[in-house]
A and B are shown apart, each in its own frame.
Chain A
Amino acid sequence: MSKLVITDLHVTVETEDGPKEILKGVDLTINEGETHAIMGPNGSGKSTLAYSIAGHPKYTITGGSVTLDGQDVLALSVDERARAGLFLAMQYPVEVPGVSVSNFLRTAKTAIDGEAPKLRTWVKDVNGALERLNLDSTFAQRSVNEGFSGGEKKRHEIAQLELLDPKVAVLDETDSGLDIDALKIVSEGVNRFREREGKGVLLITHYTRILRYIEPDFVHVFVDGKVAESGGKELADQLEAEGYDKYLKANA
């Protein structure tokens, strides 16, 4: 089972002028097997939603709830959320100098599973995941995200998604900055994940381009800290044609 329920979520961030509300009552339910795309203009709070779900300390939850299979996600620490089955593919993955990809992946897998992976199958799994994302075998020896190209960072995020096998994946603008070949490779990785039993995906994007490769079940337009409109994938086509103007005007 994997059901992520976000109810009336309010989030503030600390600014020089005091706390500023970014999320203003988000409601969203992702049932198992569903892929939801969240689309919206810059500054609408899409990334804040992603980071709030993952538990970044910069954001303060002031109201509402997030549950995963009934468990109160907001009561958990960042690492507990990951172990509960949440995964955030970040827009700007962070460099960790001196820590190799191979060490990082093994440490993460061990933490998620509560036991070290079996060496023989693990090496095979890692090599397979890297290969499928077109990352060569020397990649595992490099320091995490250090000196990676933009595309390598994103492909590395998706390799982690495959290996850590969460219940629900939140993908924060995974498509931004990718050329078409990299976009296809990343999309294929996400689709392989979706094919697994009972997985949920929350795909946050500014552009409709990635939706040609990852077909969403639902599309939500995100404006000014909440969902302004929801629909099927035809909503994405409408946004492609008309842009966000209508929502921004309505908002203003």
Chain B
Amino acid sequence: MPSPQLADAVGEHREKHADRVALSCCHRSVTYQQLDDLTRTFADRLRRLPLAPGATVCVPAHKSPETVALLLAVFRQGLVALVPSPDLGAEALARLSRRARASHLLGADEQGSVSAEPVEPDEAEAAGFAVPDPARTRLLLTTSGSTGTPKIVPIPVDGFTAFADWAGHAFHLTGDDVALSYAPLNFDLALLDVWTFLRLGAHVVLVGKEQAADARHLRELVAGRGVSFVQGVPMLHRLLAQDAEATFPAVRQAVFTGEAMPADLLPSVFAAFPEARLHNVFGCTETNDSFIHEVSRTRAGERMPIGRPLPGVRALVVGVDGTPLEGAGGGELLVSTPFQTGGYLERSLNDRVFTEIDGRVYYRTGDLVTRSADGLVHLEGRADWQVKVRGIRTNLQEVEAVIATHPDVAEAVVVALPDDQAGVRLHATVTRRPVAALTGLALRSYAGARLPRHAIPASVHITDQPLPRTSTGKPDRNRIRADRMKETSAA
């Protein structure tokens, strides 16, 4: 699990601790006995559906005990679950289902009834997509992606088992622990804060989408349910810690993940979790977690590293010439983990990002890193022009391309600058055509009509001078970025 053994594990926890809480959400809780009963009921329901052995079914990731039980039933029945975001529109959901050759779209409501809609197969649409192999995977996650249909990532059964073993050991987890599950159920983070905890017989507190920005509710959950493990993006930690009055001494482990933790947030996080060990964890859906860094309360610097590879993980830093660096230096990060997917379902995507080196398959993260002489790794940015503005993946090249279509623009470069609140903000440096009277405000209006709001540059520098160049004649983005940062810090 997501594996057949996971449903068995829940059954065993029911034998030993029937009344222990397995799942809770804002207004109710489900014991291991109830979860096991619900799983068996749903498994019976699945048996009555016309499903081929090992078929794939689509289960949108609603954050509810019933959806978790339905997924356990799918694993138990030897089926494969495609788990997309519940926010996906009907058309995108149908397209994704046809690509994965899912035979039914399933759901389970709070009353415990299962809905099953057959999916019209379309071999033309599924062409080029591998058929999920239930011997190797029971769970297909999807990556967000800023445009188009999400990519389908099979999570290997043995990869999950290895991951859950690692996580249990690394965070000293037992059946007495209580996890706050903040991320959506279709994120790889759920492999830790939902599935690993259920495997251990522990309690998972499910935070629904509706409560995700409600600081008071989140604090009540963490304090009131005895949460001992908190994993989430910096925003979650900000919501929990920004009220200096609240402290959560029951939290033993706090994990920062998803994006860079701002240094200004650390003092309040230290105060909010006085008893916790703190880790920065780096990973993605394709490989699951690959790097970890234990954050020191006394020696946390301005920039938090992603740390060092997890046990069994190999990491390469590849320079611009394409060869892996020995020792210190900077380049693109490639990782090979014991947990990683065997490849996207869409075969044509794999050659670009999975590469075999010395007999191991590595995933190109697209992240630029630096590695110090003692092996500590820091993230420096993206190799593929992706940045996150207010948590939304944004492609700098796409923004540049839109700006460059303005008739008065001769040339434009868009760079990402660090920002305490937004994560990064975009800055555009634009050379206007001779005699053009273009201003930054006119360019913003133009961009605003063609780009989503988060992709409009927050600052615009218009010049009549040509842009600085690198030795190869390309606009020197690093210099533009550095100059801009110097200007704004001097101001």
A binds B: no
Q: List chain A positions with a Cβ less than 8 A from chain B.
A: none
